[in-house]
Amino acid sequence: MKIKNLLIDKHKEIFGEAPELIVHSPGRVNIIGEHTDYNDGFVLPIAISLGIDLAISRIQDSEVISVYSLDKEKKIVSLYAYLMKSSGSDDWANYPIGVVKVLQKHGHKFGGVRISFTGSIPEGAGLSSSAALEIAVAYAVQQLYKLKIKDKDLIKYCQQAEQEVVGVRCGIMDQFTAKFGKAGNAMFLDCRSLDHRYIPLKLKSAEFIITNSNVHHKLVRSAYNQRVNECEEAVKVLNEVKPGKSLRDYNLDDYEKAREFFTPEEKKRAFHVITENNRVIEAEKSLKQGDLKKFGQLMNDSHDSLKLYFEVSCAELDWLAETAQKINGCYGSRMIGAGFGGCTLTLIEKKSIPEYISKLKAYQENFGLTAITYEVTPSDGVHKL
């Protein structure tokens, strides 16, 4: 396998020894259920074939952690000194640092490691390259040092690493998908109980495709954290109507009763999350029934809600989703991930894909950016290569 040989060669070149283990960890697309995970709600993600490939070897009698990024051609040694300087940013080295730090904080003892890795997920595209890297590091260290960590704890540690070291108050969807994704399937995840079930993807003559808008918003982190705060504030208001811990605990009747007490932002955020949770439940049913028309409509409704009520879309994503939605043979199209840039996901008949691709030329003309499309191949979670 090409990637495996490349990693073995590079690891030897950089560290002077062969890796003991090589793992692959996937990125994800979320087919519906956006900004619901940190509200204890429901999501429906798929692990994709793009991901992180990572090689690792132990350093005996040492606590040095050394990480080499093939893509950046950069090595960071002894991550702690580095962390002091760079925490609170999305510098690539913060993800492995964060994971090692959190594992140790939870009492797991292990020696030094040498890590080299490369990624096929376009960075900043909202396909979760960060969670893929976190899970790859955690899983590789766990396997190599035989650490006794339950799967769900491993996932929570990675989420914690992102929250504490990188400073994003993210939910659990991305890390969960990188661990538990299953080839050929989407996954329904209850982000409160962490119960999950697989839904075989039978799309007949249709296909999911990702379109990267190539818009990278610089302020995603602060805007994301602001949304998390607004949702928490909305819960405080809803508590006047009915006790509850998160937006997950409320329905549209509760929302109507609390309506006049919200700020304009809280009102819109709560409305999105409550209706989006309902859409995920409906989407699971329609996927199981093979009702792609209904499913696609839910995708479109999700996009509108993210645009109008959660206010995390942008002109480029709206253009891409709305252009796709107008094509005969397109069931639905929506922005995915945190938003403010990144990708759309489109469910479309295979025969209509060339028409869609040809329409993307106008994207270049309108925005001066190139939209790149990828096929979605539902793939397995993290595993050894």
Which residue's CB is nearer to ligand GLA, number 296 or number 337? 337
Q: Please calculate the CA angle 374-378-381 and round it to the nearest 5 degrees.
A: 120
**Which one from 40, 174, 249, 301 is the annotated catalytic residue?**
174
Q: Which of 34, 40, 301, 349 binds ligand GLA (CB under 6 A)?
A: 34
Intra-chain end-to-end CA distance of the chain, in Å: 9
Which residues share a beta bridge with 383?
A: 24
Task: Determine which residue in the list 24, 35, 101, 279 makes contact with ligand GLA, applying CB under 6 A.
Answer: 35
For residue 60, give the nearest of 113, 3, 106, 131 by alpha carbon.
113
181 binds ligand GLA (CB under 6 A): no
Contact 320, 211 (CB under 8 A): yes
The secondary structure of 71-89 as a DSSP string is TTTEEEESHHHHHHHHTTS
CB of 135 to ligand GLA, least distance (A): 13
In the window 330-349, what residues touch ligand GLA (CB under 6 A)? Answer: 337-338
Size of the site for ligand GLA (CB under 6 A): 12
174 touching ligand GLA, by CB under 6 A: yes
Residue nearer to ligand GLA on the CB measure, 113 or 168 = 168
Q: How far is the CB of 30 from ligand GLA (least distance, A)?
A: 6
- Determine the interface stretch with ligand GLA among 33-41, 64-72, 80-88, 246-254 (rule: CB under 6 A): 33-41
Q: How far is the CB of 224 from ligand GLA (least distance, A)?
A: 7
- Give 57 or 379: the residue with its C-beta nearer to ligand GLA: 379
Q: Which of residues 278-307 bind ligand GLA (CB under 6 A)?
A: none
Among 97, 170, 283, 347, which residue sits at the site for ligand GLA (rule: CB under 6 A)? 170
Minimum gap (Å) between residue 175 Cβ and ligand GLA: 8
Q: How far apart are CA 321 and CA 384, in angstroms?
A: 36
The residues that bridge with 175 in the sheet, in sequence order, are: none
The 240-279 contact track toward ligand GLA, x by CB under 6 A, reads ----------------------------------------
Distances (CA, A) of 103 to 17, 134, 155, 225, 244: 25, 11, 11, 24, 32
CA–CA gap between residue 67 and residue 78 (Å, rounded):
9
Q: Looking only at Cα atoms, what is the longest distance across the chain?
A: 66
Q: Please choose, out of 31-39, 59-67, 88-96, 345-353, the segment that lies near ligand GLA by the rule CB under 6 A.
A: 31-39
Interface segment toward ligand GLA; rule CB under 6 A; list 34-42, 59-67, 80-88, 347-355: 34-42
Helix (H, G, I), strand (E, B) or coil at 106: coil
307 — phi, psi (to 5°)? -75, -50
Contact call for residues 276 and 34 (beta carbons, < 8 A):
yes
173 is a contact residue toward ligand GLA (CB under 6 A): yes
Candidate residues 98, 171, 332, 378; the one interacting with ligand GLA per rule CB under 6 A: 171
* Per-residue tokens: 249: 């605990």
Q: How far is the CB of 29 from ligand GLA (least distance, A)?
A: 10
Q: Give the one residue of 7, 10, 24, 38 binding ligand GLA; rule: CB under 6 A.
A: 38
**Stretches 96-104, 167-175, 301-309, 345-353: which one binds ligand GLA (CB under 6 A)?**
167-175
Question: Residue 229's CB: how many other CB atoms inside 10 A?
Answer: 14
- Is the CB of 53 or the CB of 174 nearer to ligand GLA? 174
Cβ(348)–Cβ(209) below 8 Å: yes
Whether residue 36 contacts residue 82, with contact meaning beta carbons closer than 8 Å, is answered with: no
The candidate with the shortest Cα–Cα distance to 30, out of 188, 156, 152, is 188
Nearest distance, CB of residue 349 and ligand GLA, angstroms: 27
Query: Is 174 among the catalytic positions?
Result: yes
Q: Which residue type sits at 126?
A: G
Across the chain, where does the E strand assignment appear?
A: 21-30, 42-43, 45-59, 65-69, 74-77, 112-119, 185-190, 196-200, 206-212, 330-335, 343-349, 372-375, 383-384
Q: How far is the CB of 377 from ligand GLA (least distance, A)?
A: 20
> Which parts of this chain interact with ligand GLA (CB under 6 A)?
30, 34-35, 37-38, 128, 170-171, 173-174, 337-338
Would you name the residues annotated as active-site residues?
174
